[in-house]
């Protein structure tokens, strides 16, 4: 975004020119002329911007209807307001394009954007752009570039970002990029780089920006050592690759293979003595000798490995094995939980070791604390023996599904941003969570306390989350959620929330992290809230970044959250459930500027509702069923009333629940008639 100073500086250019050409006789005339020139200049700039954007639009496929209001009858910007959809303005200038979720295809005509001097941010996320990476270098002043969730493919040239030294955020996740990660991405100002879920190969370049906060290359085909500056990132940022090694992953890297020109020295003349001309000549003449050397080295290595294996076997049979035995069929990602758990074991401090069966001197796992009496207990070793897979990585860290030997499926969630709370306070809070009991809450049943990280253990829920059910692929066998299911889910969520509010009246925001991936669905599509009531133990410096509640308008405006903040999160959940529109990226850390984007997301739904109330609903529901439609509309009204920025106008939870229950009663009546 251009600063006022930048814009002023830009205005000054024509002023200097004009002052030189005007005589100094009358300063008044000068000022008038300057102002006139200035306004001509601004008008000119507006026209340029219109032209540039219309040229850009003409290169797109499917631009109408989403960009239908892009036309020259009105300038793209008035002050800080964008008159054209997706155009971000400052002081009358275009500083960004945010063309997301529009099903856009075709070419991105970078050249046409060159004449927008203050363009700093571009987002084309969640569209259908295909083909190779456009050449952005002509937009050298760009600060953020969001291309995630498209179909871009092929390799990216090494110098694709050369000279773009202002880049702070680059998001290219969920495309089909191949080849190496371009080294030109090493912008010194980089804060965020997201490349996950592509097909990048080779090594990770040494990206070393001091500002880097978000980095993700998971689910590519990368290999080799993780560069040292990136070792401070979370391990989940590197999962699902071909063969990455080093910190923060558990796997150590192999020592580097000696360069080929050193090989002739092995077992021959000492490395320090330079090869004689005679020796060199004889080596060149004797490939057979080379082959013998290579074979002996390979045989030697084979023997060493064999000896190591024999030693490990006899060693292991003498003492219990720590960590899961990784069967050869497990892929890298699945075995990672064992690595994670092993990390917990090896660094557990002695006072936490479960005592009863511990033999002196043996390494023991940390002790799991169980918070419910109605569950059978097991220890961390059982967990480590479990087969495991990564479910995903959220704002806190990764979550793993682990199936115990007896077939019980669990979810282990790692939390790293909970290390500022005193140990006893943490235990007390976990016990408090353990006492909560409601049909719409997923119960916490065990946890592990370590200073640097915490593990929380829950039941695995087979039907997935509301998010995956809403936004995943649907087919005849797996249809989308029906209206009745959605209503049942919303009602259950409201009841779970109301229970938390009643049970925890002293908490400012009793849930604090409500979003569709934190609502799981049991076999009967009853919702189960998870990740609730974590606010009191999350590091206060990170709550804003991590918890959804802290992305609310009131937090942005007043730095405070309140009970109605949960209602705001609930309102968004209702709108997402009814429209099927993806909101996750607006709530996620990083990609996208939060406040304005989310407000726009809500407003777009409100506007769509007023122009065509059927259009706004997810087509997967029975939108043409005349008996359901009034109910859907009523629920939508409630959702909107929960999303009001103004706290006085926003429903309180009790009222929202009451109104939602009425929707269901009408539904039952309707169906009976």
Q: Which is nearer to ligand ATP, 184 or 469 (CB)?
A: 469
CA 534 – CA 206 distance, rounded (Å): 36
Structure tokens that stand for 454 in this block:
């915490």
Site for ligand ATP in 210-269 (CB under 6 A): none
Write down how long the chain is.
673
Number of CB atoms found within 10 A of residue 64's CB: 11
CA torsion, points 549, 550, 552, 554, in degrees to nearest 10? 120
Q: Which is nearer to ligand ATP, 136 or 396 (CB)?
A: 396
Q: Got the DSSP string for 424-452?
A: HHHHHHHHHHHH---TTBPPEEEEEE-SS
300 Cβ contact partners less than 8 Å away, ≥ 6 residues apart = none
Site for ligand ATP in 109-148 (CB under 6 A): none
Q: Which is nearer to ligand ATP, 184 or 518 (CB)?
A: 518
* Listed residue (671, 663, 647) closest to 564, CA to CA: 647
Minimum CB distance to ligand ATP, residue 517 (Å): 4
Cis bond upstream, residue 65 (ω within 30): yes
Contact 125, 78 (CB under 8 A): no
532 binds ligand ATP (CB under 6 A): no
531 binds ligand ATP (CB under 6 A): yes
Q: Which listed range, 360-368, 379-387, 392-400, 479-487, lies at the site for ligand ATP (CB under 6 A)?
A: 392-400
Site for ligand ATP in 544-573 (CB under 6 A): none
577 binds ligand ATP (CB under 6 A): no
Round the CA-based radius of gyration of the chain to a whole number and report it: 30
CA 509 – CA 501 distance, rounded (Å): 8
* Listed residue (22, 18, 55, 25) closest to 40, CA to CA: 18
391 binds ligand ATP (CB under 6 A): yes
Among 330, 370, 449, 460, binds ligand ATP (CB under 6 A): 460
Number of CB atoms found within 10 A of residue 346's CB: 12
x-or-dash string of contact with ligand ATP, 411-450, rule CB under 6 A: x-x-------------------------------------
Q: Which is nearer to ligand ATP, 76 or 512 (CB)?
A: 512
Q: Which listed range, 71-79, 296-304, 513-521, 631-639, lies at the site for ligand ATP (CB under 6 A)?
A: 513-521
Residue 145: phi and psi, rounded to 5, are: -140, 115
Query: In this structure, what DSSP letter does residue 25 have?
Result: T
Query: In this structure, what DSSP letter does residue 158 have?
Result: T
465 binds ligand ATP (CB under 6 A): yes
Contact 228, 203 (CB under 8 A): no
End-to-end CA distance of the chain: 58
Q: Which is nearer to ligand ATP, 453 or 631 (CB)?
A: 453
Q: Which is nearer to ligand ATP, 224 or 580 (CB)?
A: 580
Q: Which listed range, 29-37, 115-123, 214-222, 459-467, lies at the site for ligand ATP (CB under 6 A)?
A: 459-467
Q: Which listed range, 26-34, 124-132, 386-394, 647-655, lies at the site for ligand ATP (CB under 6 A)?
A: 386-394
Minimum CB distance to ligand ATP, residue 391 (Å): 4
- # residues contacting ligand ATP (CB under 6 A): 18
197 binds ligand ATP (CB under 6 A): no
Q: At what angle do helices 653-672 and 483-503 cross, to 10 degrees?
A: 150
Minimum CB distance to ligand ATP, residue 218 (Å): 12
Structure tokens that stand for 245 in this block:
């090694």
333 binds ligand ATP (CB under 6 A): no
Q: Which listed range, 68-76, 366-374, 391-399, 559-567, lies at the site for ligand ATP (CB under 6 A)?
A: 391-399
Q: Which is nearer to ligand ATP, 374 or 626 (CB)?
A: 374
CA 47 remoteness from chain centre: 38
Among 209, 219, 440, 518, binds ligand ATP (CB under 6 A): 518
Which position's Cβ is nearest ligand ATP? 394
Minimum CB distance to ligand ATP, residue 62 (Å): 30
**Is residue 319 packed enough to be buried (19+ CB in 10 Å), middle (13-18) or exposed (0-12)?**
exposed
Q: Which is nearer to ligand ATP, 396 or 483 (CB)?
A: 396
Give the interface with ligand ATP as residue ranges (CB under 6 A): 391-396, 399, 411, 413, 458, 460-461, 465, 517-518, 520, 530-531
């Amino acid at each position: 975004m251009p600063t006022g100073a930048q814009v002023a500086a830009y205005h000054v250019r024509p002023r200097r020119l004009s002052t030189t050409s005007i005589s100094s006789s009358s300063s008044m005339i000068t000022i008038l002329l300057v102002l006139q020139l200035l306004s001509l200049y601004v008008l000119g700039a507006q026209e340029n911007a219109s032209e540039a954007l219309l040229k850009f639009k003409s290169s797109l496929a499917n631009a109408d209807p989403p960009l239908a209001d892009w036309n020259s009858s009105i300038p793209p910007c008035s002050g800080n307001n964008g008159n054209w959809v997706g155009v971000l303005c400052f002081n009358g200038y275009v500083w960004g394009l945010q063309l997301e979720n529009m099903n856009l295809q075709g070419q991105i005509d970078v050249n046409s954007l060159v004449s927008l001097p203050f363009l700093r941010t571009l987002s084309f996320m969640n569209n259908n752009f295909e083909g190779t990476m456009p050449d952005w270098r002509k937009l050298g002043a760009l600060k953020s570039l969001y291309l995630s969730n498209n179909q871009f493919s092929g390799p990216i040239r090494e110098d694709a970002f050369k000279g773009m030294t202002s880049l702070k955020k680059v998001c290219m996740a969920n495309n089909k990029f191949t080849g190496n990660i371009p080294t030109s991405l090493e912008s010194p100002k980089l804060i965020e780089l997201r490349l996950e879920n592509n097909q990048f190969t080779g090594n990770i370049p040494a990206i070393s920006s001091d500002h880097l906060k978000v980095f993700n290359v998971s689910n590519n085909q990368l290999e080799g050592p993780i560069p040292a500056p990136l070792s401070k990132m979370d391990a989940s940022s590197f999962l699902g690759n071909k063969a990455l090694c080093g910190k923060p992953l558990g796997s150590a890297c192999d020592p580097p293979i000696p360069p080929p020109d050193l090989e002739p020295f092995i077992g021959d003349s000492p490395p320090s003595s330079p090869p004689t001309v005679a020796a060199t000549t004889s080596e060149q003449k004797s490939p057979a000798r080379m082959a013998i050397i290579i074979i002996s080295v390979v045989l030697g290595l084979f023997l060493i490995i064999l000896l190591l294996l024999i030693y490990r076997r006899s060693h292991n049979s003498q003492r219990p094995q720590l960590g899961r035995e990784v069967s050869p069929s497990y892929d890298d990602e699945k075995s990672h939980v064992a690595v994670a758990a092993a990390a917990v074991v090896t660094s557990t401090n002695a006072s936490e070791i479960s005592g009863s069966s511990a033999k002196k001197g043996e390494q023991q796992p940390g002790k799991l604390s169980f918070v419910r009496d109605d569950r059978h207990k097991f220890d961390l070793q059982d967990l480590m023996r479990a087969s495991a897979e990564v479910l995903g990585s959220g704002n806190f860290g990764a979550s793993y599904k682990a199936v115990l030997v007896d077939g019980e499926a669990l979810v282990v969630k790692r939390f790293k941003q909970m290390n500022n709370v005193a140990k006893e306070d943490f235990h007390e809070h976990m016990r408090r969570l353990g006492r909560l009991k409601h049909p719409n809450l997923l119960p916490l049943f065990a946890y592990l306390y370590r200073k640097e990280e915490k593990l929380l253990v829950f039941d695995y829920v087979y039907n997935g989350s509301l998010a995956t059910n809403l936004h995943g692929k649907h087919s005849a066998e797996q249809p989308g959620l029906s209206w009745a299911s959605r209503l049942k889910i919303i009602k259950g969520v409201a009841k779970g929330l109301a229970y938390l509010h009643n049970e925890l009246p002293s908490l400012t925001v009793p849930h604090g992290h409500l979003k569709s991936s934190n609502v799981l669905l049991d076999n009967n599509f009853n919702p189960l809230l998870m990740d609730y009531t974590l606010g009191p133990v999350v590091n206060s410096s990170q709550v804003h970044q991590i918890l959804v509640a802290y992305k609310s308008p009131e937090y942005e405006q007043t730095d405070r959250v309140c009970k109605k903040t949960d209602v705001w999160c609930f309102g968004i959940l209702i709108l997402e459930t009814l429209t099927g529109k993806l909101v996750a990226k607006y709530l996620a850390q990083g990609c996208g500027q939060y406040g304005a984007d989310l407000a726009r997301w809500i407003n777009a739904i409100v506007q769509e509702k007023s122009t065509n109330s059927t259009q706004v609903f997810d087509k997967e529901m029975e939108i043409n069923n005349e008996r359901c439609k009034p109910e859907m509309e009523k629920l939508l009204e409630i959702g909107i009333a929960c999303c009001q920025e103004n706290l006085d106008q926003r429903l309180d939870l009790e009222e929202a629940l009451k109104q939602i229950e009425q929707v269901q009663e009408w539904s039952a009546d309707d169906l009976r008639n």
